Amino acid sequence: MTIAGPIAPQDIEVERPGMAACPACVVTPSAQALAAMAKPSSGRLMLSLPAAHCAACISTVETAIAGVPGVQSSRVNLTMKRVSVEADASVTAPQLIEVLKRVGYEAHELDAGLLSATETDKQGRDLLMRLGVAFFSMMNVMLLSVAVWSGAEGATRDMFHWISAAIAIPTVIFSGQPFFKSAWAGLRVGRLGMDFPISLALVLASSISLFETIKSGHHAYFDAAVMLCFFLLLGRYLDHRTRAVARSAAEELAALEVPRATVLVDGAEVVRPISEVVAGDLVRVRPGGRMPVDGVVAEGASEVDRSLLTGESLPVFAGVGTVVSAGEVNLTGPLVLRVTAAGKDSSLHRMADLVAVAESAKTKYTTLAERAASYYSPLVHLMSFSAFGYWMWATGGDVRFAVNISAAVLIITCPCALGLAVPAVVTAASGKLFRKGLLIKHGTALERLAQVDTVVFDKTGTLTTGAPELTNFTDHPRAVIEVAAALASASSHPLAQALAEAAKAQGVVAAEVSDLREVPGYGVEGIWRGQTVRLGRAGWCNAEALDVTATYLCAGDKPRAFTFADRLRPGAEVAIAALKAQGKHIRLISGDVEGAVADLAARLCIEDWVAGALPAEKVALVRDLTLAGRRVLMVGDGLNDTAALAAAHVSISPATALDAARTASDIVLLGQDMAAIGDATRIARQATRRMVENFGISAAYNVVAVPLALIGSATPLAAALAMSLSSITVSLNALRLK
């Protein structure tokens, strides 16, 4: 059972502009989400296919699914890496997942994300449609405008202006809608965003030009109006696409296990949503399952993995009377829990409160674009109005001339390049980082990442993979390892599996051990050459417990210890070296015991480390650093890191992290390799520099063109040149990103 399984819909909500991210809401699944999960799925199924990448994949998957009785049709979408299946209600997603597994494709159900996925598409299609229309008009109007600029006179010019008007005005009305709507929405709450001057310029340019056309004047700005529309929509569309890609990948990442608990009612098993489980119920948790509730073990013995909650890398013994918390993983034996707290009262929910507090304490980040707009918007309006006032006075009340000048000022200063400056860079940078295995979830994450000067790492699951590695293989005689391997392969305990794997890698053939039996919570025992052999806890094998992670074998003369160390995540050393080279301060904070943390810190040359930290202490550390003026990048994966992730200036979590941690973080590390983090900070700094340069470039064009407009010698040709040249320069500059 997953703690925060069905978060896909919220996850998507979070990504929408204007909606506050709320990791607190997803630490515990909401009642609505539970209700939605309980509904029977409709005839349409959506599966995520993370491994699909080629033409052969498409036909294999589609043929395999077509072979399932009851399936009407299926179509793979390679861009989104998912397949949608039209099928009878009798066909279930697990059934299809099984079929795909047989032909070699990993698949995950995406049912909850279905609705919002189509919603996203609609928005993107809508923008693309408006962009296409603006492009068509821009080309045609430009064609006619070039004729006017090159000297069309009299009736010909008027005719060209009329045709331009017939094309441009409907286009501005249709394609300009996203700007008009957003400007209106901003106006209603009393805020002048970037969209207000844009809308004003669009409306003014079209109406002035129409007026000039009626009066058969010389200058019409129809081309400028549609060109504005086109370039600004392009920026908007790039922005949308970056977010849409991040969103669909985040959906794929969401583990979609259903948050249900197996409740024992009069000895019979009943599966219920967690929201309906009450204190006092008996809940069964099978080996490999996650505790859905807080409780006390009433029956059975096992070991539990608390790493995601506390960061402890070693499994902990759980017998009758042991208190367990929701989110821990049951490893070896079935357990029956008496529920002490479920839903709102569980420890999970208390964690959620911590996240909510951290989230609300975080100051809102003002993006470069927002800051630029806040200077730019008033300045443009002021200039345009003063030009109008001055020319009214200078010409002795020639309204037509004065309005023409102020419109020209608005059109020339209109932020074509400003609108492209940030989206073009973000698109280039996030594409680059995506290929390196980093997914930027949040629009402002790049800018925030660029400011980071302190990096705080979690240990278990972040710097280490959470999988143990045998360290003293060569200390043991071959025969001993053969026995140990035989015993180890009978258990699903992480240490046993690591031992069996190491033995296999060295070509050890397991000895013949009979009557293998796993004693939950203790270890494995069996009969080898007539004597009982055991592999497991120190006490159970009459061995002296060492202070490092170890499992013990008693066979023959004396017990033997197999010691383990947590395996480093690939690229961890590279990433830390790169961050150090960039002059960043590195800290390690873990909930694990001191020995393990000190060992890892020494291996990675991290001087500054804290062991045994509680979730609240992690948040406190991040907050103290922030108060001391540091910009903190938090890298963590566990539920115990979630609040710290939310509190940090910017945060990264690996794809293997819990949903709640991934939702709280701004960037997700898709692959196993961590080396990309070093690149990410470098690329982020470079990207921010490009953004600033882009603002500089568009300002430079304005510095040249605005005086021309103010003295009244700007022609539509000058406006068109300034606009297109600045937009192109800005886009090219974005592509320089290395």
Measured from the CB atom, the residue of 241 and 567 that comes closer to another protein is 241
CB of 673 to another protein, least distance (A): 23
- Cβ atoms 665, 652 nearer than 8 A: yes
Measured from the CB atom, the residue of 141 and 565 that comes closer to another protein is 141
Measured from the CB atom, the residue of 50 and 559 that comes closer to another protein is 50
CB of 470 to another protein, least distance (A): 42
- Is 54 a binder of another protein (CB under 8 A)? yes
- Is 616 a binder of another protein (CB under 8 A)? no
Distance CA 356, CA 490 (A): 43
Strand partners, 261: 272
Strand partners, 330: 304
- Is 79 a binder of another protein (CB under 8 A)? yes
Distance CA 524, CA 605 (A): 37
- Is 244 a binder of another protein (CB under 8 A)? no
- Is 51 a binder of another protein (CB under 8 A)? no
Binding residues for another protein, rule CB under 8 A, total 23
> Can you tell me which of 22, 47, 65, 76 binds another protein, judged by CB under 8 A?
76
> Can you tell me which of 17, 18, 39, 55 binds another protein, judged by CB under 8 A?
55
**Full 3-state SS string of 23-84:** HHHHHCCCHHHHHHHHCCCCCEEEEECCCCCCHHHHHHHHHHHHCCCCEEEEEEECCCCEEE
Measured from the CB atom, the residue of 130 and 442 that comes closer to another protein is 130
Judged by CB under 8 A, the stretch of 70-78, 492-500, 681-689, 698-706 that binds another protein is: 70-78
**From the CB of residue 126, how many other CB atoms can be counted at a distance below 10 Å?**
13
**Full 3-state SS string of 652-685:** EEECCCCHHHHHHCCEEECCCCCCHHHHHHHHHH
Q: Specify the DSSP element, H or E, that contains 284.
A: strand 282-285
- Is 323 a binder of another protein (CB under 8 A)? no
CB of 35 to another protein, least distance (A): 30
- Is 77 a binder of another protein (CB under 8 A)? yes
Measured from the CB atom, the residue of 61 and 97 that comes closer to another protein is 61
**From the CB of residue 505, how many other CB atoms can be counted at a distance below 10 Å?**
10
CB of 687 to another protein, least distance (A): 25
Measured from the CB atom, the residue of 136 and 317 that comes closer to another protein is 136
For the stretch 58-67, contacts whose Cβ atoms lie closer than 8 Å and that sit 24 or more positions apart, written own/partner, are 60/103, 60/104, 60/105, 61/100, 61/103, 61/105, 64/99, 64/100, 64/102, 64/103, 65/96, 65/99, 65/100, 67/99
- Is 316 a binder of another protein (CB under 8 A)? no
- Is 512 a binder of another protein (CB under 8 A)? no
- Is 519 a binder of another protein (CB under 8 A)? no
Binders of another protein in range 82-141 (CB under 8 A): 121, 125, 128-129, 132-133, 136, 139-140
Catalytic, out of 11, 158, 294, 458: 458
CB of 170 to another protein, least distance (A): 12
- Could you please report the per-residue DSSP string of 338-364? EEEE-GGGSHHHHHHHHHHHHHHHSPP
620's CB contacts (< 8 A; 6+ apart) are none
- Is 146 a binder of another protein (CB under 8 A)? no
Q: Which amino acid is at 127?
A: L
Site string for another protein, 163-182 (x = CB under 8 A): x---x---------------
Two tokens, residue 29: 């699944």
Measured from the CB atom, the residue of 222 and 457 that comes closer to another protein is 222
Distance CA 98, CA 86 (A): 17
- Is 73 a binder of another protein (CB under 8 A)? no
CB of 117 to another protein, least distance (A): 11
CB of 92 to another protein, least distance (A): 25
Q: Specify the DSSP element, H or E, that contains 267.
A: none
User: Catalytic: 458?
Assistant: yes
Catalytic residues: 458
Binding site for another protein (CB under 8 A): 54-55, 58-59, 76-80, 121, 125, 128-129, 132-133, 136, 139-140, 143-144, 156, 163, 167
